[in-house]
Amino acid sequence: MTIEAGQPLAGGQPTTVRQAGARRPLGELGLAALGRAGRAALLATGRQPVPDALEPLVRVHRAHHPQADLGLLARAYRLAEASHRGQKRKSGEPYITHPLAVTMILAQLGAGTTTLVASLLHDTVEDTELTLEQVGAGFGPEVAYLVDGVTKLEKVDFGAAAEAETFRKMLVATGDDVRVMVIKLADRLHNMRTIRHMKPASQVRIAKVTRDVLIPLAERLGIQVLKAELEDIVFATLHPEEHARTRALIAGHEAEPDALLEPFARRLARQLAEAGVAAEVTVRPRHCVSLHRVLLKRAAAPGPDGQPQRPQPADFGRLLVVVEENADCYAVLGELHTCWTPLPGEFKDFVAAPKFNLYQSLHTAVALEGEVVEVLVRTRRMHEVAQTGVVALGDPTPAGAAPDTDELDRTDPARPGWLSRLLEWQQETPDPDAFWSALTADLAGDREITVVTEAGETLQLRAGATCVDAAYLLGEQTGHRCIGARVNGRLTALSTALRDGDVLAVLTEAATAGGQPSGPSPQWLEYARTPAARLAIERWLADHPARLPVVRTGPSAGQPGQPGQSELLAPSAHRDARRGAGGRRAAPVAVAGRPGAAVRLARCCTPVPPDEVAGYPIRGGAVAVHRAGCPAGERMRADGRAVLEVRWRPQDAPAAGHRVTLRAEALNRPRLLADLTAAISAVGVGIVSAEVEPPQELRVRHTYTVELPEPAALPGLMRAMLKVSGVYDVSRPHAPEGGVGRPG
């Protein structure tokens, strides 16, 4: 659908051909008499005739809105014409031709009367002596709001920031009434149609702003007919040579008979008719930029001979199948995949899961005569929304009226989700340059993905967004408390880029009464792709200056008199109590056949009752005790060492308790070490040493050696450590199966 001024309407009233000299039936009037009678009837009822300049516009508007108030349109036109009288465009045409053309574009989209009235007046407040108060007094506050929303800010007041602040103002107004941006897009389309009258430097500047901001906004509002034409004009302005080559390819293809798509469309239509599916099958040609993108993919993928692939007939268009009901969409899909070979991975169901801009269709591709043909299937209503987006949804609910929507339906066409998110972060960016950079970056990705949380909530994110972005989309506090993520059932780094259809769980630390969350680390700024997440992280970091912790692992770094971490964690009195008389640790095990032998509990596996253990003789007549299955003990056995039978002697347990080593696997976050040591101390266990390995992919491993007051305290200690936010596994190094390896 290409919208042009004065485009004839399809499906108009049939014309009647009369033979020359035929008698006029009684009571029938000629055209001139009909015209005089119509004007007389209008004057008799006090209604003024519609100006001639509005006649094409009225015909188009009446086709969409038969009960439209034409008197209101006529008043708006007369006021606009009088206000702009004497003004000229750069093309030399009277200025009134511009609001008329913009309004015609909106009428062809099917916009309501209020939108058309505001469009006729959209430049009056900016370029004439008419004030916003006068517009409101004559046409009501709704029209005044729309006119104000698209009115540019003065460069005299804002200087170089005028353009950025104007877009900010429009976006804020769009948040309350999406028609503001619809009028702006139609205004830009007509300006782009006449861009050849601008200076070359102005053409490039305007085309780049259109490319970076207006086209993505048209995509997000679902107005594909505007987006496609804007893309083609920008392409011709910024890349005239490539545009000319692509246009030449299209012209050459159109000059030849279609031997692929048109015959396939007829075959598919016959097949659907035989299957009893009422459908309209047409070939949908690609516009210039769409074809150019296909050609770029062709050029980037070498063919069987190693040379870049040449364009194929199927590249120039796609088949569009329009049906009546949603169920018919899947019936068409069944016929397609039954009669032709579908390509794996090419099917996409946007009917069951609409895109962020309300777009709905089934997409598939089938093999046909050695080529790949794309097919779109949708209902008539879906097609209307796919073409004109939010305009097809009608005017927003008037203020004060209850919206007639399902409470479970979260789709708000007047305030789409992406717009709500944009409005949230723009308030935190007062600097115009920073706002403009963030806006263009946010709109740069012309594709969004849908992610579903494990709780069933649907999240719409820009393509390339990470787990960090998803966490902050769920709420700022959720983002601040995030300590990890699980994607499709597997733990993953917060830097992981999400894909369309991923199932996500954001792991958060437990909230405490009045307690502050751990908050993000500066590294998260490298992972955030959305402005909202970046601003929230930057705000947290600014409010919570970094406090560099002092981390000591093992003995002090050679400084006399300064204790190492083990000394900090275990008081000296506790250290003295760990040893018996003469400095030798008490032996809680007995070795069969070697009474009085010195016993050493292996540090690699730290056995405690009731672990199954084995003894191995070592130098000096001592016996090393390892847990069954310990790799070090198994190596000693393989080297020919004798295996000695040992048994626990609970009555001879050391006064200081049993030493055991535990390993905690966790998602790295601030204060994790402090929280783990606090959890260990809370169950009455003393810490001998702690080791923290460098994080890898945001995951970290903590190893603690502790002394248990009694062996039975081990399962409770492991459970307490596992409850710490971010910890997803607690184990004993070299723990054998069936032993005391994990918390019960």
What domain range is 662 assigned to?
Answer: 658-731
Among all chains, which residue has been given the structure tokens 């070359």?
200
* C-beta of residue 698 within 8 angstroms of C-beta of residue 482: no
- In this prediction, residue 556 carries a pLDDT of 33
Q: Are residues 640 and 671 in the same domain?
A: no
Least confident of 3-7, 88-92, 100-104: 3-7
What is the value of pTM for the model shown?
0.63
Q: What is the pLDDT of residue 397?
A: 54
CB 511, CB 478: distance < 8 Å:
no
683-741 per-position pLDDT tens digit: 888 888 888 887 776 788 898 888 888 888 888 899 899 888 888 888 887 644 444 44
- For residue 526, the 8-state DSSP code is H
- What are 294's two structure tokens? 């296909």
Residue 14 resides in a domain: no
Answer yes or no: do 52 and 170 share one domain: yes
- 676 and 702 in a single domain? The answer is yes
Which H or E element spans position 676?
helix 672-682
Choice between 737 and 528, residue whose per-residue pLDDT is larger:
528
Say yes or no to pLDDT of 410 above 50. Answer: no
Point out the domain boundary residue: 648, 667, 695. 648
Share of the chain above pLDDT 70, in %: 77
95, 149: one domain? yes
Q: Are 682 and 624 in contact (CB under 8 A)?
A: no
Q: What is the pLDDT of residues 265-277, one digit of tens each?
A: 999 999 999 999 9
* Cβ(578)–Cβ(656) below 8 Å: yes
Strand partners, 280: 322
pLDDT value, residue 18: 32
681, amino acid identity: S
Q: Are 179 and 67 in the same domain? A: yes
Task: Look up tokens 């002697």; give the residue.
Answer: 649
* pLDDT value of position 408: 30
**Which of residues 393, 422, 457 is at a domain's end?**
393
- Asked if residue 330 and residue 195 are part of one domain, the reply reads no
Do 136 and 50 sit in the same domain of this protein?
Answer: yes
In a domain, 1, yes or no: no
Pick 157 or 388 by higher pLDDT.
388
621 and 677, same domain (yes or no): no
What was the pLDDT predicted at 744? 46
Give the CATH number, domain containing residue 468.
3.10.20.30
- Beta-bridge mates of residue 716: none
- pLDDT tens digit sequence for 646-686: 888 766 666 557 788 898 988 877 778 888 888 888 888 88
Are 231 and 100 in a shared domain?
yes
**Dist CA 230 CA 225 (whole Å):** 9
Residue 579: per-residue pLDDT:
40
165 pLDDT tier (thresholds 50, 70, 90): confident
Query: 324 and 381 in contact (C-beta within 8 Å)?
Result: no
| End-to-end alpha carbon distance in the chain | 66
Residue 75 has pLDDT above 50, yes or no: yes
Residue 404 has pLDDT above 50, yes or no: no
- The mean per-residue pLDDT over the stretch 158-178 comes to 79
| Distance between CA atoms of residues 682 and 34, nearest Å | 97
76 falls in which pLDDT band (50, 70, 90)? very high
Residue 406: what are its φ and ψ, rounded to 5°? Answer: -75, 135
pLDDT score of 29: 42
The total of structural domains in the chain comes to 5
3-state secondary structure 39-98: HHHHHHCCCCCCCHHHHHHHHHHHHHCCCCCHHHHHHHHHHHHHHHCCCECCCCCECCHH
Residue 166 corresponds to which tokens in the numbers above?
Answer: 């104007």
Closest CA to 115 of 185, 165, 195: 185
Q: What percent of the chain has pLDDT over 90?
A: 33
User: Where does 446-544 have alpha helices with state H?
Assistant: 467-473, 476-480, 524-527, 531-543
Residue type, 343: L
Q: Domain boundary residue among 621, 648, 675?
A: 648
Query: Does residue 176 sit in the same domain as residue 242?
Result: yes
Q: What is the pLDDT of residues 532-551, one digit of tens each?
A: 888 888 888 888 775 444 34
Cis bond upstream, residue 517 (ω within 30): no
How many angstroms separate the CA atoms of 139 and 82, rounded? 16
Mean pLDDT, residues 238-267 taken together: 93
Q: Which residues are catalytic?
A: 126-127
Stretch among 12-26, 267-281, 463-477, 646-660 having the lowest mean pLDDT: 12-26
The answer, yes or no, to whether residue 480 has pLDDT greater than 60, is: yes
- CA–CA distance, 361 with 278 (Å, rounded to integer): 17
Q: Which residue has the higher pLDDT, 24 or 352?
A: 352
